[in-house]
Chains A and B, each alone.
Chain A
């Protein structure tokens, strides 16, 4: 059963703190993604990773960075979180033409 996992599911941080969101997949997919979703805006692509250490900026990379040291693991890092980074974050992986999504992480930055 193809599965994408995300940890944590819920997170509360104070402005200026660092945030680490983790994503894992057990399908050996090469391509992985990080999105954020805000009401009325749909999914916005933050970063895309084509494989280990092969990452590209998406549409809204500012304030974020990523790390992919193993194919099955893709991390999203917020250095000094800001209140406008409060959102739901989704990770996805893809094989050819289909994406598989994780359950999301709901981040609140106070």
Chain B
């Protein structure tokens, strides 16, 4: 079946430094899947951070960006300069079927930004 693998566990980055959270996916779908990054801030539910539904395209939001690479089946999340307010748990996700979507999530990466 479909699956998503992302940088696991906790990541600690100093404020103003760059960030990359790796995400790779596997799918049995004939069509290219939709790819997402969700973020969960403390005490809140998951929020959509960005999505890309076309292979080769880049999505961006709040200074984060991710490029849909179908050759390497990757969708890494990057930010050039993180802020303390970026501390949260980040989830890479795959949606495999338009209409009645099945979604598959990575295990989440907990980011702590230290001032």
Instruction: Please list the residues of chain A having a beta carbon within 8 angstroms of any beta carbon in chain B.
Output: 4, 6, 31, 33, 40-43, 45, 48, 50, 90, 92, 94, 96-104
Contacts and interface: CB of A to CB of B under 8 A. Distances in A.
B45 A50 contact: no
Contacts of B48: 98-100
Given A42-B106, A98-B36, A103 B45 contact: yes
Contact of A104 (B45, B95, B101): B45
Contacts of B8: 40
B34 interface: yes
Contacts of B102: 48
Contacts of B91: 42-43
B46 interface: yes
Interface of B: 8, 34, 36, 38, 43-48, 51, 53, 91, 93, 95, 98-103, 105-108
Nearest to A90: B45
A102 B45 contact: yes
Given A42-B91, A50-B100, A103 B105 contact: no
A104 B42 CA distance: 11
A90 B53 CA distance: 24
